[in-house]
């Protein structure tokens, strides 16, 4: 995880954005750790995909305390959950498994990153690798 933060910081600094200081990161409100994270993730997909009842879940990883910042100066704090899912597209066909990232703060998804790619940084393991 420290490598991801270093790369994320380098990318964001190169874009002239300001990241939170170490003190801000340490003192930030990450919310409570989600004990029912699997239900939260499934409820999120239930509300957002084309055919909710057909979503296939390969893995939902345990949450990790995390923060995300983007090149526009937005910062999000919470618990990162990686989910390997297969959903149907608008044509009713499965699109293939992908590894999504969901940032949860106080039992609510505050940031969804389809495919887990955040400004060029992969937040979750490659879906072709063996998910646990």
Instruction: Say which residues have a Cβ less than 8 Å from residue 118's Cβ, sequence separation at least 6.
Output: 8, 68, 70, 101
The pLDDT, as a whole number, for residue 5 is 58
The pLDDT, as a whole number, for residue 52 is 85
Burial (Cβ within 10 Å: 0-12, 13-18, ≥19) of residue 23? exposed
CA 23 to chain centre: 23
pLDDT band at 8 (very low <50, low <70, confident <90, very high): low
pLDDT band at 110 (very low <50, low <70, confident <90, very high): very high
Q: Give 35 or 1, the one with higher predicted confidence.
A: 35
84 three-class SS: strand
pLDDT tens-digit map of 55-70? 999 999 999 999 999 8
Query: Domain segments of the chain: what residues?
Result: 2-122
The pLDDT, as a whole number, for residue 130 is 47
* pLDDT, mean of residues 96-121: 95
pLDDT tens-digit map of 77-95? 999 999 999 999 989 999 9
Give dist(CA 95, CA 109) in Å, integer.
23
CA 58 to chain centre: 16
Question: How far apart, in Å, are the Cα atoms of 94 and each of 16, 40, 52, 56, 108?
Answer: 40, 22, 12, 9, 26
* pLDDT, mean of residues 10-14: 53
Query: The whole model's pTM is what?
Result: 0.80
CA angle 68, 71, 77 (to 5 degrees): 20
Assess contact for 119 and 70: CB atoms under 8 A: yes
- Beta bridge mates, 56: 86
The pLDDT, as a whole number, for residue 13 is 53
């Amino acid at each position: 995880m420290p490598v991801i933060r270093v790369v994320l910081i380098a990318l964001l600094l190169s874009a002239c954005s300001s990241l939170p200081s170490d003190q801000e990161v340490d003192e930030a409100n990450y919310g409570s750790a989600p004990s029912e994270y699997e239900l939260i993730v499934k409820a999120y997909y239930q509300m957002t995909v084309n055919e909710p009842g057909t979503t296939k879940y390969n893995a939902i990883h345990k949450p990790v305390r995390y923060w995300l910042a983007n090149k526009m100066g937005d910062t999000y704090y919470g618990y990162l959950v990686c989910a390997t899912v297969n959903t149907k597209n608008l044509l009713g066909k499965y699109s293939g498994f992908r590894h999504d990232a969901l940032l949860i703060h106080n039992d609510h998804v505050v940031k969804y990153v389809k495919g887990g790619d955040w400004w060029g940084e992969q937040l979750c393991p490659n879906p072709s690798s063996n998910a646990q």
